[in-house]
Amino acid sequence: MANRMGYLSCLDTVKPVRDAIEVINGKWKLPIIISVMTGNERFTDIQESIPGITPKVLAKELKDLEQHQLIKRVVIEDYPVRILYKPEPYADTLTPIIEALKGWGLNHRRRIFSKA
Amino acid sequence: MANRMGYLSCLDTVKPVRDAIEVINGKWKLPIIISVMTGNERFTDIQESIPGITPKVLAKELKDLEQHQLIKRVVIEDYPVRILYKPEPYADTLTPIIEALKGWGLNHRRRIFSKA
DNA sequence: TATTCCACTTTCCTTTTGGAAAGCACTTTA
DNA sequence: TAAAGTGCTTTCCAAAAGGAAAGTGGAATA
């Protein structure tokens, strides 16, 4: 028997959107990328620029982002050793997503307050 | 003593982005919105249009999306009763986000395959 | 010498998310 | 009459995400 297949296929959009979500999932990845792209380079600075993030979460997310080649961890052999996080060029490709989310978030907040 | 405040503030961007993420968080919300906006109206059709989603998760996410006024649940008093999910106009405002994610996801997949 | 800074790690715990499977009340279809 | 469809809910459970707090080892600072 053939499939029912009564539904409309939306896989052309759903699949790539899911691929993107897999990379930038969670509460923290985009905030971290934004912070690093803004110019924060050191662990403590990144941490302090993002309210509420704990060092454990930050360390884990930084590793994830490095694996996806969105940031790189640079070790400066000095006394003492310094560690810097820099955005990779690939991180720039996320700018349209970040801008779209920022615009939507600003509008959403206005919408919520105008109701209340 | 004054704060260290050595970091660069990125809150102007981080805060609205976080507001947006809070609404569309998780693996499923955007796929469901895409499916409903494509024209899938019935529970089973939405479920079948999104590979891997279970009825439990779909039911819960539909409720969340209804609360955020992104979709509405319409009860048609027929014999038998039919239930339809329709996009609210507010869902349209997510289109730029969806398009940005779709474009990035397509490019990301090409990038991954060209390396391998 | 004591404190602070830096970049984390470790432990413990709670919450959230997700998945598999079954069930249910009803209706339609074969 | 039996099977299948509809729109879910329920139960059980595993994995992932997230948070609080403390610790660590070296180096710089007061």
pLDDT tens-digit profile of B6-36? Answer: 899 999 999 999 999 999 999 999 999 999 9
Cβ A14 vs Cβ B33: under 8 Å: no
Q: Which positions on strand C lie below 7 Å from a protein C-beta?
A: 5-11, 17-23, 26-28
- Determine, yes or no, domain membership for B42: yes
- Determine, yes or no, domain membership for B2: no
Question: Which of B7, B53, B67 should one mutate to test binding to chain A, selecting the residue with the greatest count of A CBs within 10 A?
Answer: B7
- Determine, yes or no, domain membership for A3: no
- Residues pairing with A72 in the sheet: A86
- Determine, yes or no, domain membership for A1: no
Residues 52-91 of A with CB under 8 A from B: none
- Determine, yes or no, domain membership for A69: yes
| Strand C atom within 7 Å of A55 CB | yes
Taking alpha carbons only, the member of B100, B89, B75 closest to residue B37 is B89
- Determine, yes or no, domain membership for B68: yes
Residue B68, classed as helix, strand or coil, is coil
- Determine, yes or no, domain membership for A59: yes
- Specify the CATH number for the domain of residue A88: 1.10.10.10
Token pair 């969340």 is found at: B64
Distance separating alpha carbons of residues B30 and B27, to the nearest angstrom: 7
Give the count of domains, chain B: 1
Instruction: Read off the pLDDT of residues B30-70 as tens digits, 9 standing for 90 and up.
Output: 999 999 999 999 999 999 999 999 999 999 999 999 999 99
| Structural domain boundaries enclosing B55 | 11-115
Model confidence band, residue B108 (pLDDT cutoffs 50, 70, 90): very high
- Residues pairing with A83 in the sheet: A75
- Determine, yes or no, domain membership for A21: yes
